[in-house]
A and B are shown apart, each in its own frame.
Chain A
Amino acid sequence: MQALNNFIAHYNYVITIFLMITGLYIMVARSNMVKKLIGLSIFQTSVYLLYLEPGKILGGTPPIIDKAFTVYSNPLPHVLILTAIVVGVATLALGLALVVRINEAYGSIEEDEIFKKDREQ
């Protein structure tokens, strides 16, 4: 019962960790490079959640100073994750550009086919 309560109370973290593992698994298990990048994106997004969730404070208002409120949500995680999102977008764009170039050079984006072509060479 205690375990179940813990589970329900922290359901958002369970989702976060599920996404994290899903992303990692896709990157390891898939040979298609675009799918690998999708996995990478899911993995990175789960980290955004990991940062953002604890920033919300129950009963807290947006962090705008006002005499009527004393409890504010933490704005710093949002700022950090805004930066991380920019980094993530840049990584994804560069990854996709590389996949385009690989497709031009090899005629395939399946990693095992490409390895086979390189071995035959």
Chain B
Amino acid sequence: MNAVLPHLPALQVVVPLIGAILAAFLRRGNFAFTLTLAVSAILPFISGALLWQVLTGGPISYAMGGWAPPIGIEYRVDLLSAFVLMLISVVGVVIIPFAHRSVASEIDASKQAWFYCMYLLCLTGLLGITITGDAFNAFVFLEVSSLATYVLIAMGRDRRALLAAFQYLIIGTIGATLYVIGVGFLYLLTGSLNMVDVAQRLAAVEPDQMRTVITALAFITVGVSLKLALFPLHVWLPNAYAYAPSWVTVFLAATATKVAIYLLVRYLFSIFGVAVNLQALPVGEIIIALSLAAMFIASFVAVFETNLKRMLAYSSVAQIGYITLGIGLANQAGLTGGLVHIVNHAFMKAALFLALGAIVYRIGSARLGDLAGIGRKMPLTMAAFAVAGLGLIGTPGTSGFISKWFLAIGALDRGWWILVPAIMASSMIAFVYVGRVLEMAYLREPSAETARASDPPLSMLLPMLVLAAATVYFGFDTEWTAGIAGKASQALVQGLAR
């Protein structure tokens, strides 16, 4: 055991990577699923051990291949990255039982092994972005996860899935390339790619080189914002979520955008924020303005959307707005709210998309009009949907309330009380679009189509019930979400240059 422990940071990425290669060789869908299940079950133990090490002993630095940083690639686990690693691993293991039947019903048998191969590659990339301490290595992992994501989206049954994947490929590659341009400027300026090293060297740049720093900041912010679907750079997201296979949507909604948000926080707070006084630049103000636009415009679009997958996708854009609002506020409470909403939103949106996936599995449609009376025929599924939907609105007693509470405190700390009614107003819009679905599901008479539906098998039911329960649980016990997020944001905010 002692031989393995020091290498946990590498294993976090290597285990799913080897799993992906093996899955491609297995060729049989069932074998590949079993392998994916095994890999998903191991990952939370690794990230749990990492989180525990960080909580007890401070940040971990791992020299990849034995080459010491800053020359070699460093895997660096601090509280923020351990927090996000834990989120990805836990979401992965909770949702994987759902995949078996859902994927079997939506993907050809001959392609299922490839599907799991792509999923594991995507997982590798996301974990890699989170754990690496090297700016260029992050780009490579970003592309690993993105390329796998394009393939996963294109595997949807509708032909529009191909179009959605292509559009995402174009926009995603522009985003990644803008990111790499920004990293290029940082490299030209500092001669280093190690994130900690870059931050230290940036602090020493001459004032007349500030223009390059600001250019790099702009390129990286815009590039990563394309990936995290910050309004108005979100146009790829609704179609990608709507036409991807149901289970892929669950996974992407819960993890992919969250990892891009992690990258944005890492750059704004641990690299640029440490070296440059960001208060002097209108970065926070721009992000807050765009976040408010997302919270209102995307929520408003969701109200009029009849395809429920698209409705939830627009809701995701709006919820990402809450997270970036916390990042833009850039104070202790605001950032805590943003970080805690990464986890809370991942859980509740995964539960919502899982419930929707179960409905698609039973009645083959995600249109609002086809769901009449489904609450009586699929009671547990719709109960999970309703609970997670209440979380989305931010009802007290759910985890969504905790996030919004911290965001409101952050806004007041900053002296911008006007944001508090804005947060409440946008929650009201969420109430309208969630309410529309609940009204259709519970108050209408079942149609001939829905009358035949029933709750899905336990393997599909359990993940969404667990996530819906987590939405309620983390509304009361916040030690593991807001507690860790608070410590992480404290470390980030304290590091900021004044």
Contacts and interface: CB of A to CB of B under 8 A. Distances in A.
Contact of B163 (A36, A44, A114): A114
A40 B170 contact: yes
Given A27-B174, A50-B184, A118-B160, A91 B166 contact: no
A79 B143 CA distance: 17
Interface string B158-170: 0110110110011
A62 B286 CA distance: 45
Closest 7 CB pairs of A and B: A105-B159, A87-B143, A98-B166, A102-B162, A101-B162, A51-B184, A50-B184
A47 interface: yes
Nearest to B144: A87
Interface of B: 136, 139-140, 143, 147, 150-151, 154, 159-160, 162-163, 165-166, 169-170, 173-174, 177, 180-181, 184, 187-188, 193
B169 A80 contact: no
A41 to B, nearest CB: 10
Interface in A53-70: 54
B143 to A, nearest CB: 5
A44 B154 CA distance: 23
Contact of B184 (A40, A47, A90): A47
Given A77-B187, A84-B180, A118-B160, 5 more contacts: A24-B174, A43-B174, A94-B147, A98-B162, A118-B163
A23 B169 CA distance: 15
B358 to A, nearest CB: 26
Contacts of A118: 160, 163
Contacts of B166: 33, 95, 98-99, 102
Interface in A93-117: 94-95, 98-99, 101-102, 105-106, 114
Q: Chain B interface secondary structure, helix, strand, loop or mixed?
A: helix
Nearest to B169: A95
Given A24-B174, A87-B143, A47 B180 contact: yes
A109 to B, nearest CB: 10
25 contacts: A33-B166, A43-B174, A44-B173, A47-B181, A50-B181, A54-B188, A77-B187, A80-B136, A80-B193, A83-B140, A84-B139, A84-B180, A87-B139, A87-B143, A91-B147, A94-B150, A95-B169, A98-B150, A98-B162, A98-B165, A98-B166, A101-B162, A102-B163, A105-B162, A114-B163
Contacts of A105: 159, 162
